[in-house]
Amino acid sequence: MENTIIKTIRVSEKGQIAIPREIREKLKIMQGDELIIVENNNQLLIEKSKRLTKQVQDDFKDIIHYSEQSLKEVWDNSEDEVWNQYLKK
């Protein structure tokens, strides 16, 4: 818990919060960065969207690969250019 930063913040009338400078600097959160906020069991998680996007891509990489293989087996028709065009992407 030595790397944990605990700060108290207030929610504005419009529901806005300010992330303390120390935390922004540690996490390299810059102006214009997109963040994702998740509520789970009355707890909030805020994470940079690029980090979460990368994690989701990694999680689904195998699923996409096997889906493409399955589709290729079903749709393996050399006369059908749709699949060949898809594979070029």
Does residue 4 belong to any structural domain of this protein?
no
Strand pairing class (35-40; 43-48): antiparallel
Does residue 15 belong to any structural domain of this protein?
no
Looking at the structure of the chain, the number of domains it has is 1
Does residue 53 belong to any structural domain of this protein?
yes
Tell me the residue range of the domain where 55 lies. Answer: 21-88
The pLDDT profile of the chain, 89 residues, written as one tens digit per residue, is: 678 888 999 999 999 999 999 999 999 999 999 898 888 889 998 888 776 666 666 667 777 777 777 766 666 666 566 666 766 66
Does residue 10 belong to any structural domain of this protein?
no
